[in-house]
Structure 1
Amino acid sequence: MKEKIIQFGTGNFLRGFADQFIDVLNEKDLFDGSIVIVSPTDSKNTDKINAQHGKYHLILRGIDGGKEVYETKRIDSVSRAVNPYRDFSGFLALAKDPDLRYIISNTTESGIAFDDSCAFSDSPASSFPGKLTQFLFERYKNHLNGFIILACELIDDNGKKLEEYVLRYADKWRLGKDFSEWILRENRFCNTLVDRIVTGYPKGETESIFRELGCEDALLDTAEPYHLWVIEGDFENELPFKAAGLNVIWSKDVAPYKKMKVRVLNGAHTFLVFPSLLCGVETVGESLKDEQLRDFLNLCLDQCILPSLGNSKECIHFAGSVLERFANPFIKHMWRSISLNSVSKFRARVLPSITDYLKLNGSLPLPLVFSLACLILYYKNEDVCDDPAFVDYIRKNDLSDILENEKLWGRNLGFLFETVFMCLNDILDLGIRGAIKKVLR
């Protein structure tokens, strides 16, 4: 099998996501290509990958279509790994292989960044865009075609940001106008949106799993069954993910899908976290088993979030998948962890749904405003992890000042005062359970 893909990133996520997708394509005789993994940092993971000749097992477990799923797959799509810090010439040699056509990256949110200290003479450049520029220049010198580049980092416009920084390095390092034109002409930097919870190496469970496998696996990975990959562009003829039955969407614009994910999946975490914690519920799964909290979640989604997204079939289906994912018995997702930096999360994930609902209906979405009241009450009385200035301000000031503080919310929320005040009074008078019951009426 020819090596056709270079992957920047040795971690659990891509091995539980894109690498499995390529494995599916190969199984169905739709691709016939393997992946060379390149370490973006000086990681020992390359040694583990090469020791196992790229082979590893992926366990998919969770709820799918209302049924519990537990499926073990051997992934054979990875051929080897290269560490450019130890073998820079071997890294550059990959650029001379005409069969290589695709680049996939996940170098964390901070990976796509411009480091002005990087020099072309570095072996390698410390930043990922710097390494990629060195690699592409080697490709250009050998008069070969460019790449389809699929950036999976969790930042907005990930592909275009990567392209921008590569062009900046080409200019900074004076690699020539012809090279910059070749970058633009011969390469496609695609924005993508990825969605799958990859839980990684299952510490504490390996003894029984290895017994079932009949071998040890230092690269063992675990993930939920659900997956979504939205890619700007259409290369289905080359990468026939849809034909293979994978939930991959080729689109002209990732933004609507990002909006859906942020408001439905991430938003649900944010508006459910403090009602759950105030009820003494510690995990997402426990909230889904709690009839009252589950009803509150459904009310928020069905009456407040989905209408502001147009109630499309796609959004409704996605919301249904979120409920299954939250109920996954194999993932113990702690609300305390989710509560980290909730002020900025509420501002980005929930507040836009409140304002859109207000525009559409001329009234406020009570369940979402109630979740804000729960946030404020929790911040006033419990230990939280957030910007100390935010926490201090909420604790020391009255409700009107808190809501009108634009540094907290990005805008003046004074128009929410009466409803938040009513919700807080209900919680104090009726208790959290009684107050939620009133919202559900």
Structure 2
Amino acid sequence: MEQLNYDVLSRSGYEGFIQKDAPVKVLQFGEGNFLRAFVDYFFDISNEKAGFNGKVALVQPIAQGLTDLINKQEGLYTLYLRGSENGQKVDMKRVISAVDCCLNPYNKSDYDKMMEIAASDDLDIIASNTTEAGIAYDPACNFTDTPASSFPGKLTQVLYTRFKAGKKGVVVLSCELIDNNGKELLKCVNQYIDQWKLGDDFKTWVNTENIFCSTLVDRIVPGRIRDEKEVAKLEEANGYHDELIDVGEIFGVWIIEGPQELEDRLPFKKAGVNVHVVPDVMPYKHRKVRILNGAHTGFVLGAYLAGFDIVRDCMHNETVSGFMNKMLNEEVIPTLVDHLDENDLNNFAAAVKDRFNNPFVNHELMSISLNSTSKWKARNMPSFLQYIDKNHKLPTCLTMSLAAYIAFYSNDVQELTEAGLVCKRPKGNTYTVSDDRWALEFYYEHRNDSDKELVAAVLGNEKMWDQDLNKIEGLTEKVTENLHLIRTEGAEKAYASCL
């Protein structure tokens, strides 16, 4: 079967939107599955729906990558967006034609091509996702390196070329998974400007004529389809061989922090996609962490003890799904309404329920359970404390969730190994708790405590919570009561008692 390119695609009978020719308006650092299923998808839709008429030139951020493969397919690849939407199964196919080419800047000719794009009149946007470690200042980088090894170093070189060419500033959309990603990236660029002595005029241009946006990205992208039989079946139906098939969930939202006029400069609003320009991205990060991630951490540990193994099955159980819904709707969302619209929060929570019910993803509860001590603190504790502050009483479900966390870490402890704390599940099998070593050692040391002693010790561990939670009125007694209920009646009945 012939490999995908424009000629092969035209002969395959594909009837979807394709834009073969357009100027390069976007320079993108990163060519991996996530960016191709997220950023490039949104630009592809913008070409179709908003007349963006722009292509994306990808830049391979490290010496090894997908450049040759992407260029062999002339930038084309097949994207499948799969999941549940409004309770309905969705499996959507789209051939993405927004990518112009991929450049490996460690190759001299590609480095020169990158700089040619940097100096062009058409370039308006630079996007990136170079992993969490990508936004880092490395003083070993030199201006004369072709290219600088760090991403901020490469970006500084690109911007300097654009400045020397007398071109307008660009919009920088940082998608790396760190807080204030755009601000941190700009900080690194300024460090290189100073280190490389590139001048005050350039520094002023970078900081006043360019817009560095912190952004929040949200789409689960499994990437490649690993079932060879499924791939063969899809390619038979498509009529071509595709080495770059990409898979993401149907849900996707991109929150971009920037001035309101940016909404008209970017094509996304006109295209009608789920991309939003906001003055402050942090409330939306709190929304994601407390609702999406907080829901996971809030119910999975008890659900695992109740006998469930994957998230989707939990959503089909009336008790567990009811527990999660009550936790989100009555305890988490009310703590966020001071900073975000309540309808927006409710819609996001509804989408979370669809995402957890994804028929294409077997998301294992044990994989979510990793490092639950720090996760509960980061994802659930803020809602827990704010609920108490606002209502002057304990939140029923979040308090039960805290008890379930303790139960998961102390359920019939067998031994402490290099891999983690081995516990025994009510249905008979053992499981290994993975967390920071000090947390595992703490639970192992307290393995013979009574429920009351254990709860008091956990809640009083200031290394876990940065405070003594025993000081919260009624909490020690209620968590002890909940833990006893989980141990004697089972986690599912304990969850049911909250409803």
TM-score scaled by length of structure 1: 0.97
Is the alpha carbon distance of 1:131 and 1:217 closer, same or farther for their aligned partners in structure 2, counting shifts above 3 Å?
A: same
* Residue 385 (structure 1) aligned with residue 440 (structure 2): no
The equivalent of 1:221 in structure 2 is 246
For 1:276, give the aligned amino acid.
A
CA distance in 1, matches of 2:492, 2:49: 52
* Aligned residue among 49, 53, 59 for 1:38: 59
For the residue of structure 2 that corresponds to 1:154, the secondary structure is coil
Are 1:404 and 1:413, in contact at CA under 8 Å, matched by a contact in 2?
yes
Alignment of structure 1 residues 253-292 onto 2, 5 Å: 253-292=280-319
Partner of 1:328: 358
Matched, 1:301 2:328: yes
How far does the alpha carbon of each residue in 1:98-140 deviate from its partner, in whole angstroms, 9 at most, with x for none? 2111001111111111122222222222211111111111111
Q: Kindly indicate whether the alpha-carbon contact (under 8 Å) linking 2:302 and 2:408 is maintained by their aligned counterparts in 1.
A: no
Mapped partners of 2:153, 2:459: distance in 1: 44
> What are the within-5 Å matches in structure 2 for residues 41-440 of structure 1?
41-87=62-108, 88-204=111-227, 205-233=230-258, 234=260, 235-310=262-337, 312-380=342-410, 381=413, 382=423, 383-397=432-446, 398-414=454-470, 415=472, 416-440=475-499
| Whole-angstrom CA distance in 2 between matches of 1:344 and 1:164 | 28
Counterpart residue identity of residue 306, structure 1: I
Are the counterparts in 2 of residues 366 and 419 from structure 1 also a CA contact under 8 Å?
Answer: no
Q: What's the secondary structure of 2:132's corresponding residue?
A: coil
Secondary structure of the structure 1 residue equivalent to 2:51:
coil
Question: Matches of 1:279 and 1:110 in 2, distance apart?
Answer: 38
Instruction: Give yes or no for contact 2:294–2:380 (8 Å, CA) kept in 1.
Output: yes
CA contact (8 A) 2:306 2:490 kept: no
Identity percentage of aligned residues: 43
Name structure 1 gaps, 5 residues minimum. none
Q: State the match for 2:10 in structure 1.
A: none
Please tell me whether Structure 1 or Structure 2 has the larger radius of gyration of its CA atoms: 2
Q: Provide the rounded CA distance (Å) in 1 between the counterparts of 2:171 and 2:299.
A: 39
Q: Deviations over 1:40-98 (max 9, x none)?
A: 11123111111101000111111112221111101000000001112333332322222
Q: CA deviation at 1:354?
A: 0.4
Q: CA–CA distance in 2 between the matches of 1:176 and 1:243?
A: 38
What code does the residue aligned with 2:462 have?
E
| Range moving further from structure 2, 230-239 or 341-350 | 230-239
Q: Which residue identity is paired with 2:345?
A: C
Deviation (angstroms), 1:239: 2.1
Question: Which segment is superposed worse, 332-341 or 372-381?
Answer: 372-381
Following superposition, the deviation at residue 253 of structure 1 comes to: 0.8
Is the contact between residue 27 and residue 127 of structure 2 (CA under 8 Å) also seen in structure 1? Answer: yes
The residue type equivalent to 1:324 in the other structure is D
Match of 2:47 among 26, 51, 56: 26
SS in 1 for 2:346: helix
* Aligned counterparts of 1:30 and 1:410: Cα–Cα separation in 2: 52
* Residue type at the aligned position of 2:210: N
User: Does the CA-based 8 Å contact 1:347-1:410 persist in structure 2?
Assistant: no
- The 2-side partners of 1:243 and 1:92 are apart by 30
In the alignment, is the contact (CA less than 8 A) between 2:400 and 2:482 conserved in 1? yes
3-state SS of paired residue (1:318) = helix
Aligned AA (2:249): E
| AA at the equivalent of 1:438 | S
CA distance in 2, matches of 1:31, 1:159: 24
Of 11, 23, 39 in structure 2, the residue corresponding to residue 2 of structure 1 is 23
Say how many residue pairs are matched.
440
Letter in 2 for 1:371: S
Give the superposition deviation at 1:29: 4.7
Tell me the CA shift for residue 238 of structure 1: 2.5
Tell me the SS of whatever aligns to 2:84.
strand
Question: Could you tell me how far apart the structure 1 residues matched to 2:65 and 2:330 are?
Answer: 49
> What is the deviation of 1:257?
0.9
What is the distance in 1 between the residues matched to 2:144 and 2:468?
Answer: 50
Deviates more, 1:394-403 or 1:149-158: 394-403
Please give the alpha-carbon distance, in whole angstroms, between the structure 2 residues aligned to 1:83 and 1:272: 44
Which consecutive unaligned segments of at least 5 residues does structure 2 have? 1-21, 414-422, 424-431, 447-453
- Whole-angstrom distance in 2 between the partners of 1:346 and 1:185: 40
Match in the other structure for 2:8: none
CA contact (8 A) 1:403 1:413 kept: yes
Separation in structure 1 between the aligned mates of residue 29 and residue 65 of structure 2, nearest angstrom: 14
Partner deviation per Cα, 1:170-197 (whole Å, 9 max, x = no partner) = 1111111111111112110011111111
| 4+ residue runs over 6 A deviation | none
- State how far apart, in whole Å, the 2-side matches of 1:360 and 1:185 are: 41
Matched residue type, 2:169: G
